[in-house]
Amino acid sequence: MNPHRISVKLYLEDPAALDPEAVVEPFHRYIREDAVGGIPIDVARYAHVVNGPGIMIVGHQLDYAIDYGEGRAGLSVTRKRDAAGPLAEQVRDLATEAARLSLLLQAEDGIGAAGRAGTGEVLVTILDRYEAPNDDETLVRAEPALRDAFAPLSEGASLEVTRVGGTRDPFAARVAISSARPLEHWAEGSAALA
């Protein structure tokens, strides 16, 4: 399995506390200061879309978002192109970028703890439908890589990987981690994703 478009979402611990409009100015600053990976281009507002992407940093390789998909708020990072390395490495790098985004937001006045993402549950979506249809066969092929991706971040805790969505949806798997390391550990050692 060699997908090129992958998304990783960490769920916010207190989703009601985050005003999506509060991230617009910091997102613009993150672009100016090269605080996020890839080549960021602009900030887009989609907060009016129900269960949509919310507020995004749109980039050439990566998109960063306050993501309201599934009716649950989280921080997602989506690789759109220039994928390299095995699936487990790509997923781990995107999870690291999402953790870094959470730490950046927590340092912002007016956002603080509202930007904190949890590490006990992660949604991984493979957006290449040809490469990864949303079926049980794809789950069997992807599960070892997803376990490898999160094993270093879970302190040997148990991992449960389940497929979500229907066959018309992109392949998505929810990874439940019984005892994940703190968010700060996930953000350590992030490789530049440019």
| 19-23, 30-34, 45-49, 125-129, range with the lowest pLDDT | 45-49
Q: What is the model's pLDDT at position 4?
A: 85
Distance from C-alpha of 60 to C-alpha of 115, rounded to nearest angstrom: 24
- DSSP per residue, 32-68: HTT-SSS-EEEEEEETTSTTS-EEEEEESSEEEEEE-
Q: Which of 59, 152, 167, 76 is CA-nearest to residue 117?
A: 76
| pLDDT bucket at 157, cuts 50 / 70 / 90 | confident
- State the greatest distance between any 2 C-alpha atoms of the chain, in Å, as a whole number: 46
Q: Tokens 């050692």 label which residue?
A: 189
pLDDT digits (tens, 9 = 90+) for 26-44: 999 999 999 999 999 999 9
Model pLDDT, residue 14: 95
The pair of three-digit structure tokens given for residue 114, joined into one six-digit string: 């509202």
Separation of alpha carbons 194 and 118, rounded Å? 25
Per-residue pLDDT, 191: 43
Least-confidence region, from 144-148, 159-163, 168-172, 189-193: 189-193
Given a cut of 60, is residue 192 above it in pLDDT?
no
Taking the C-alpha atoms of residue 74 and residue 119, their distance in angstroms, rounded to an integer, is 11
Of the pLDDT bands very low, low, confident and very high (cuts 50, 70, 90), residue 135 is very high
User: What is the number of residues in the chain?
Assistant: 194
Nearest to 169, CA basis, from 73, 69, 76, 88: 69
Is the pLDDT score of 156 beyond 70? yes
Please say if the pLDDT value at position 19 is more than 80: yes
pTM of the model: 0.93
